[in-house]
């Protein structure tokens, strides 16, 4: 039962639009005491009341840690040595990060991982999207099956692929051995230096190709049939239709997929950590693993803050340039 | 509005009271790693609860995340642990950063003497700075690296004959690393009872401490030293001495010739799995696991034997084990100290050993019957006479991760030479000690 109403609602009672109906119900269900309290407030004040909690949360969870990290990056602070005086070291941490060959090596490892995994995911994802878009019999079932890997947690994926890659008992090695005739224990996907980077690319592609496929599928389904019909009237071959209609129209979606996956893979940690821990040696030590080791194992908080800020600026800057390029393309 | 205010006040009072009560009602919490001896300690601690009425709670974390979890807890001044059985290398950082309660006054008051415990364990688990009478823990769990082997395979006449013919001496547990490699090569890829087996299992784990805890067992006997004994923190010619280089090359040769495929990131539990599944002839692991292995229905009993770490130019083995400390952020320090007083008693230490824990008490270890009390007891005693530990500096974590990287890069990832790896290690460690102001 609605509470007794003392609010001047007469003017809206007879309005029949849906929005007004909702506003009316909200007004009627607001307790009288609160209505009285709100009566003297301006629209601007009410707006602030609504957005203030979100702003406070944002400041507490995102903005403050960011500012604090920027501050720490200029100090020699160590989170495990809080009793020691913190000294301002200026740009020393940034200089150390940028001149550290190990950091550049892990950036290189990360770049290789990002480029190869996204390249493979794009090609396979687009191909799968073209296939699923044909709406063959049972395509809904296959769509669900294809989407399954991306629904799993990266930690679960990392763990079970570790078992699959075991040279002595792993299914992957046995499958390769069955198909190629080589001894299954003669190669180690996550233990051999040349193979380990490919192992993490393979697992990432297995998990995230369906995601790229979904984005491509959305792009394919957004192309009006009339364009293909017009192309057919002009007697364009299927190949020509693909290159002059499908690819240009899906390209913005593909670029969006590249953006999402690049940001995700640049900060990839869990899956790689579970699969190889950055090894063998430092062969698959992506920059997020280096950052974690510096911050939470070596406890070089100032240094790792500088590294974190450099990574943030890199991703943020690259993403902005990319988004501008994407917008320019859409406007053409 | 008044109603709302009443609710808020009520909630605040409820919150405060619930935050205050656990200090009174909370059990005494002991934190350690999740492994066989921890189960023995749970059993042992029942006596403490019976005697004092203080209920115990245990927080055990797997070894791979043990350091991360509890170092985070200490650094954030967490109140989760009242008692912590922390790794020997933590002692410097925990002492200097005020994480542990200093126990000297307590020991003096309660008549607990450090001379009642084995000297290596006192230095390794309790003292900071090392070799000074400043105690931050009571030696709780003695441990070092040791070896388990398949005694049943070693005693097969046809294998013994074949081995003797090939190498000119008997197939017995090795005394030196050279003999060890011969045996490992002999068993590598051999067919035993229709199954392909491998020579040796060694530590290669990259993420935490594995490969360092493995390689040092070869480095120490080959002459590796952490620093110049006359000039602390000077490492040139000690960390990268000719012997150390030779030792590192040997570890890599052992990894290449005589281990099972896929052994690129393996530590204690993978070793136990490999041994229990009958895959390896000789397994490197901590003595702490040997009571459980001996009881294993498939590979234990008469099938298993144990030996101490082989020597080469000298003797040496990696120290493991931990001391028990009172966490300075605990709200129940008095009860925690009661536990330590109880644990230090000789009869409790005897029971601790009988349940599967490794006592550090002289009363237990110097008992004439001790060497015969378990098949691995005599070897444990020998090992404890030749243990060496990793740096226990406050920056040990950085030093450890540097070593993990350089050794794994060389041994598993085939990067550079042994000399280059050790030279790079000196560069890394020098940088750390310079930052700390311990080197100019």
CB contact under 8 A, A299 and B397: yes
Upper half-sphere CA count for residue A320 (Cβ side, 13 Å): 6
Contact of A166 with chain B, judged by CB distance below 8 Å, is answered with: yes
Token pair in block for residue B69: 């979890």
Whether residue A75 lies inside any domain: the answer is no
Q: Are residues A5 and A146 in the same domain?
A: no
Q: pLDDT band at residue B18, thresholds of 50, 70 and 90?
A: very low
pLDDT at B65: 85
Q: Cis peptide leading into B93, omega within 30 of 0?
A: no
Whether residue A80 lies inside any domain: the answer is no
pLDDT at A38: 67
Residue A168 has its nearest CB partner, among B98, B205, B261, at: B261
Over 50: is that where the pLDDT of B8 sits?
no
**Pairing state of beta strands B387-388 and B56-61?**
unpaired
Who contacts A275 (Cβ-Cβ below 8 Å, separation ≥6)? A158, A161, A162, A165, A190, A199, A200, A203, A284
Q: Which of B65, B95, B206, B399 to mutate to test the interface with A (most CBs of A within 10 A)?
A: B206
Whether residue A147 lies inside any domain: the answer is yes
Over 60: is that where the pLDDT of B10 sits?
no
Q: Are residues A192 and A111 in the same domain?
A: yes
Q: Nearest CA to CA, how far is B276 from chain A (Å)? A: 15
Give the residue from B355, B340, B328 showing the smallest Cα distance to B54: B340
The tens digit of pLDDT for each residue in A226-241 reads: 999 999 999 999 999 9
Q: Which of A30-34, A56-60, A308-312, B13-17 has the lowest mean pLDDT?
A: B13-17
pLDDT at A3: 44
**Contacting residues of B for A81, CB less than 8 Å apart:** 93, 96-97, 394
CB contact under 8 A, B96 and A190: no
Whether residue A240 lies inside any domain: the answer is yes
The tens digit of pLDDT for each residue in B43-89 reads: 999 999 999 999 999 999 998 889 889 988 998 899 999 999 999 88
Give me the count of residues in chain A.
332
Whether residue A69 lies inside any domain: the answer is no
Q: pLDDT band at residue A15, thresholds of 50, 70 and 90?
A: low
Q: Nearest CA to CA, how far is A191 from chain B (Å)? A: 5
Q: pLDDT band at residue A34, thresholds of 50, 70 and 90?
A: confident
Q: Are residues A2 and A132 in the same domain?
A: no
Token pair in block for residue B12: 């605040």
Q: Which of A160-169, B50-59, B169-178 has the lowest mean pLDDT?
A: A160-169
Over 90: is that where the pLDDT of A16 sits?
no
- pLDDT, mean over chain A: 89
Inter-CA distances, B108 with B104, B114, B117, B185, B336, Å: 6, 10, 15, 54, 17
Q: Are residues A16 and A135 in the same domain?
A: no
The tens digit of pLDDT for each residue in A277-325 reads: 898 989 999 999 999 999 988 889 999 999 999 999 999 999 999 999 8
Burial of B363 (C-beta count, 10 Å sphere; 0-12/13-18/19+): middle
Contact of B408 with chain A, judged by CB distance below 8 Å, is answered with: yes
Residue B116 near residue B363 (C-beta atoms within 8 A): yes
- The residue with tokens 């993420």 is B207
Over 80: is that where the pLDDT of B116 sits?
yes
CB contact under 8 A, B261 and A298: no
Over 70: is that where the pLDDT of A196 sits?
yes
Q: pLDDT band at residue A28, thresholds of 50, 70 and 90?
A: confident
Over 60: is that where the pLDDT of B16 sits?
no
Higher pLDDT, B251 or B264: B251
Inter-CA distances, B75 with A307, B311, B393, Å: 21, 39, 16
Where is B326: in which H helix or E strand? Answer: strand B322-326
pLDDT at B68: 86
CB contact under 8 A, B397 and A297: yes
Q: Are residues A115 and A16 in the same domain?
A: no
| Percentage above 90 pLDDT, chain B | 85
Structural domain boundaries enclosing A3: 1-39
Inter-chain contacts counted by CB atoms under 8 A, chains A and B: 92
**Contacting residues of B for A100, CB less than 8 Å apart:** none
Nearest CA in chain B to A163: B262
Over 80: is that where the pLDDT of A40 sits?
no
Average pLDDT over residues B94-113: 95
Q: Rounded CA gap, B332 and B80, in Å? A: 11
Whether residue A53 lies inside any domain: the answer is no
Over 80: is that where the pLDDT of B150 sits?
yes
Q: Nearest CA to CA, how far is B90 from chain A (Å)? A: 11
CB contact under 8 A, A80 and B75: yes
**Contacting residues of A for B401, CB less than 8 Å apart:** 293, 297-298
The tens digit of pLDDT for each residue in B229-263 reads: 999 999 999 999 999 999 999 999 999 999 998 88
Over 70: is that where the pLDDT of B22 sits?
no
Q: Are residues A193 and A299 in the same domain?
A: yes
CA-based R_g, chain A, Å: 28
Q: Nearest CA to CA, how far is B195 from chain A (Å)? A: 12
pLDDT at B262: 84
Q: Rounded CA gap, B377 and A50, in Å? A: 70
Upper half-sphere CA count for residue A307 (Cβ side, 13 Å): 24
Contact of B412 with chain A, judged by CB distance below 8 Å, is answered with: yes
**Contacting residues of B for A82, CB less than 8 Å apart:** 75, 97
Q: Are residues A167 and A281 in the same domain?
A: yes
DSSP state at residue B27? P
**Contacting residues of B for A31, CB less than 8 Å apart:** none
Q: Rounded CA gap, A275 and A285, in Å? A: 11
Q: Are residues A146 and A33 in the same domain?
A: no
Q: Rounded CA gap, B264 and B256, in Å? A: 11
Q: Which of A11-20, A140-149, B110-119 has the lowest mean pLDDT?
A: A11-20
CB contact under 8 A, A280 and B398: no
Q: Which of A319-328, B2-11, B382-391 has the lowest mean pLDDT?
A: B2-11
- The residue with tokens 């009560």 is B21
Q: Cis peptide leading into B328, omega within 30 of 0?
A: no
Q: Are residues A30 and A111 in the same domain?
A: no
Whether residue A125 lies inside any domain: the answer is yes
The tens digit of pLDDT for each residue in B336-350 reads: 999 999 999 999 999
Q: Nearest CA to CA, how far is B356 from chain A (Å)? A: 31
Over 90: is that where the pLDDT of A37 sits?
no
Q: Nearest CA to CA, how far is B382 from chain A (Å)? A: 33
Q: Which of A277, A285, A303 to mutate to test the interface with B (most CBs of B within 10 A)?
A: A277
Higher pLDDT, A182 or B149: B149
Domains of chain B: 26-143+321-388 (3.40.190.10), 145-318+395-435 (3.40.190.10)
Tell me, what's the ipTM? Answer: 0.76
pLDDT at A224: 94
Residue B394 has its nearest CB partner, among A76, A81, A298, at: A81
Q: pLDDT band at residue B108, thresholds of 50, 70 and 90?
A: very high
**Contacting residues of B for A186, CB less than 8 Å apart:** 261
pLDDT at B428: 95
Q: Angle at which helices A247-266 and A301-331 pack, to 10 degrees?
A: 170
Q: Chain-centre distance of CA B309, in angstroms?
A: 15
Q: Nearest CA to CA, how far is A49 from chain B (Å)? A: 17
Whether residue A64 lies inside any domain: the answer is no
Where is B138: in which H helix or E strand? Answer: strand B138-141
Q: Nearest CA to CA, how far is B168 from chain A (Å)? A: 32
Over 50: is that where the pLDDT of B20 sits?
no
CB contact under 8 A, B412 and A281: yes
Q: Which of A190, A297, A302, A304 to mutate to test the interface with B (most CBs of B within 10 A)?
A: A297
Residue B408 near residue B206 (C-beta atoms within 8 A): yes
> CA B389, B391, B395 angle in degrees (round to 5)?
150
Total of domains in chain A: 2
pTM as predicted: 0.83
């Amino acid at each position: 039962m609605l509470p007794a109403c003392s609010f001047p609602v007469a003017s809206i009672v007879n309005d029949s639009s849906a929005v007004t109906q909702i506003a009316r119900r909200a007004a009627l269900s607001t307790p009288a005491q609160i209505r009285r309290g709100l009566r003297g407030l301006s629209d601007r004040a009410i707006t602030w009341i609504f957005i203030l909690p979100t702003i406070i949360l944002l400041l507490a969870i995102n903005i403050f840690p960011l500012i604090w990290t920027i501050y720490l990056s200029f100090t020699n602070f160590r989170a495990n040595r809080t009793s020691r005086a913190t000294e301002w070291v200026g740009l020393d941490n940034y200089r150390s990060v940028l001149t550290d060959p190990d950091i550049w090596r892990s950036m290189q490892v990360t770049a290789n991982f990002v480029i190869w995994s996204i390249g493979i995911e794009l090609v396979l994802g687009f191909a799968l999207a073209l296939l699923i878009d044909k709406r063959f019999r049972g395509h809904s079932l296959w769509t669900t099956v294809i989407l399954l890997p991306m629904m799993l947690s990266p930690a679960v994926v990392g763990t079970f692929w570790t078992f699959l890659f075991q040279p002595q008992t792993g299914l992957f090695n046995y499958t390769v051995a069955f198909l190629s005739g080589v001894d299954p224990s003669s190669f180690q996907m996550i233990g051999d230096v040349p193979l380990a980077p490919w192992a993490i690319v393979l697992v990432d592609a297995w998990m995230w190709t369906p995601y790229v496929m979904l984005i491509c599928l959305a792009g394919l389904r957004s192309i009006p049939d009339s364009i293909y019909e017009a192309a057919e009237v002009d007697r364009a071959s299927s190949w020509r239709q693909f290159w002059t209609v499908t690819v240009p129209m899906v390209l913005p979606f593909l670029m969006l997929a590249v953006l999402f996956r690049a940001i995700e893979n640049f900060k990839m940690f869990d899956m790689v950590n579970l699969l190889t821990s950055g090894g063998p040696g430092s062969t698959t030590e992506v920059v997020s693993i280096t950052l974690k080791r510096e911050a939470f194992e070596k406890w070089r908080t100032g240094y790792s803050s500088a590294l974190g800020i450099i990574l943030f600026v890199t991703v943020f800057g690259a993403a902005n340039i990319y988004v501008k390029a994407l917008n320019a393309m859409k406007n053409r | 509005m008044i109603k709302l205010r009443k609710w808020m006040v009520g909630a605040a009072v409820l919150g405060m009271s619930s935050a205050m009560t656990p200090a009174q009602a909370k059990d005494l919490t002991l934190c350690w790693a999740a492994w066989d001896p921890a189960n023995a300690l749970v059993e042992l601690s029942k006596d403490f609860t019976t005697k004092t009425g203080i209920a115990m709670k245990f927080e055990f974390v797997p070894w791979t995340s043990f350091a991360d979890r509890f170092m985070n807890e200490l650094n954030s001044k967490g109140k989760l642990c009242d008692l912590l059985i922390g790794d020997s290398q933590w002692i410097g950082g925990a002492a200097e950063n005020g994480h542990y309660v200093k126990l000297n006054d307590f020991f003096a008051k309660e008549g607990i003497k450090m001379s009642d415990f084995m000297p290596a364990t006192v230095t390794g688990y309790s003292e900071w700075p090392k070799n000074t009478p400043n105690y931050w823990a009571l030696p709780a769990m003695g441990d070092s690296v040791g070896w388990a082997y398949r005694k049943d395979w070693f005693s097969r006449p046809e294998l013994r004959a074949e081995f003797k013919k090939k190498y000119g001496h008997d197939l017995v547990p090795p005394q030196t690393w050279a003999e060890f490699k011969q045996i490992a090569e002999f068993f590598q890829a051999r067919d035993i009872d229709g199954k392909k087996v491998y020579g040796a299992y060694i530590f290669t784990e990259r993420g935490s401490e594995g490969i360092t805890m493995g390689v040092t067992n070869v480095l120490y006997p080959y002459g590796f030293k952490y620093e110049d004994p006359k000039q602390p923190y000077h490492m040139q010619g000690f960390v990268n001495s000719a012997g150390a280089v030779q030792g590192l090359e040997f570890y890599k040769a052992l990894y290449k010739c005589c281990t099972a495929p896929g052994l690129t990131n393996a530590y204690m539990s993978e070793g136990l799995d490999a041994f229990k599944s009958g895959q390896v002839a000789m397994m490197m692991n901590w003595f702490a696991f040997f009571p459980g292995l001996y009881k294993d229905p498939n590979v234990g009993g008469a099938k298993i034997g144990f030996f101490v770490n082989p020597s080469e130019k000298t003797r040496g083995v990696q120290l493991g084990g931990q001391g028990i400390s009172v966490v300075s952020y605990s709200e129940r320090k008095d009860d925690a100290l009661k536990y330590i007083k109880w644990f230090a008693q000789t009869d409790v230490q005897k029971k601790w050993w009988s349940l599967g824990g490794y006592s550090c008490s002289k009363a237990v270890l110097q008992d004439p019957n001790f060497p015969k009390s378990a098949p691995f007891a005599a070897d444990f005693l020998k090992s404890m006479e030749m243990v060496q530990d990793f740096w226990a500096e406050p920056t040990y974590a950085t030093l450890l991760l540097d070593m993990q990287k350089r050794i794994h890069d060389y041994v598993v990832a085939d990067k550079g030479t042994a000399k280059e790896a050790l030279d790079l290690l000196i560069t890394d460690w020098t940088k750390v000690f310079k930052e700390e102001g311990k080197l100019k």
